Amino acid sequence: MSNSQSVVGIILAGGLAKRMGGGDKCLLPLAGKTLLQRTVERAQPQVGSLLLNANGNSLRFARTRLPVIADLFPGYLGPLAGIHAGLSWMQSTNPDAEWLASFASDTPFFPSDLVARLLDAVTKQHAQLAVATSKNRAHPIFALWHASLLGKIEQQLATGDIPRLQDWIKQQKLAEVEFAADAYDPFFNINAPQDLYAAEPLVALVK
C-alpha cells in the first residue's frame, strides 16, 4: 500500500452556494458530467477511501456511492466544520489512518498528484498540515490534515467564533506546496453561473 492509499479523503459539499442561488452547486453539469462527478474521479485514485461531507438528505448523493457525513456542529459553520466531521469519522471508523485530504466540490481541475505532493511536504517538513498554493495564493480547502488536529479544531468550533479557513491555517505548523498554473489554474473554482461558462474551454486542457 502506498502512502497516499493510507490517506482518507473528504469532498466538502456542505456549503449554501448562495452565489449560485442556493442548492447543491456540485450537482451542476460541466461538459457532460457534474462538478461532483469530476471531483470524485480526480480525488478517488489519490486516497485509500473517500467521504463526502454534506448536510441535509444524503440520498441526493446516492449515485456517488460514497459515505456521506454531515457536520457534527449545527448551523453551517463552514469548511472547518466539514474537516472536523471528517477527522471525527476517521478517528472512530479508521483509527489507523493518520491523514485526511480535503477537496472542494466546486473546483474540478485540481492536480492529480495533489495528495502525493502534500504528503511529501508534511513528511519532509514535519508539519501537521499542508496546503496547496498556485500563483502564490493559498487554497486552504485543498489540504492535508493530521489526525492530531481534531481536538484543536473542535475547540475552535465550540467557541462559536469561526475564523476564515485561510486565517486559521496560518496559526498552525503549516507546509505550503506550489502547483503550476500555466495553461490554466488547477484551482479555478466555480462560484457563479458565469464561472461554468468560463470553465467549459478548460476541460480539454486538463490532464
Share of the chain above pLDDT 90, in %: 70
What average pLDDT is seen over the chain? Answer: 90
Q: What pLDDT does residue 90 have?
A: 97
CA gap 4, 160 in Å, rounded: 33
- pLDDT reported for residue 25: 83
- Phi then psi dihedrals of residue 199, to 5 deg: -80, -25
Q: What is the pLDDT of residue 168?
A: 95
Q: Between vectors from CA 11 to CA 9 and to CA 15, what angle results, nearest 5°?
A: 150
| pLDDT for 44 | 97
Q: 144: helix, coil or strand?
A: strand
**pLDDT of 112-129, one tens digit each?**
999 999 999 999 999 999
CA 22 – CA 18 distance, rounded (Å): 5
Torsion of CA 30, 35, 36, 37, to 10 degrees: 40
CATH number for 80: 3.90.550.10
Are 62 and 126 spatial neighbours (Cβ–Cβ below 8 Å)?
Answer: no
Residue 21 has pLDDT above 50, yes or no: no
- Region 18-40: mean pLDDT is 78
Strands (E), 49-136: 49-53, 68-69, 99-104, 129-134
| pLDDT score recorded for residue 144 | 98
Residue 124: its H or E element:
helix 114-125
According to the model, what pLDDT value does residue 23 have?
61
H or E stretch at 90: helix 79-93
- Residues 42-100 have pLDDT tens digits of 999 999 999 999 998 888 998 899 999 999 998 889 999 999 999 999 999 999 999 99
For range 172-192, the mean pLDDT: 92
pLDDT band at 6 (very low <50, low <70, confident <90, very high): confident
14 pLDDT above the threshold of 80: no
Residue type, 172: Q
The SS3 call for residue 198 is helix
Task: Provide the number of structural domains found in the chain.
Answer: 1
pLDDT, position 18:
41
pLDDT of residue 191: 86
Three-state DSSP state, 203: helix
| pLDDT score recorded for residue 40 | 96
Which residues, listed in sequence order, are joined to residue 176 by a DSSP beta bridge?
131
Q: What domain range is 164 assigned to?
A: 3-205
pLDDT surpasses 50 at 2? no
- CA–CA separation, 143 vs 84, rounded Å? 13
Per-residue pLDDT band for 15 (boundaries 50, 70, 90) equals low
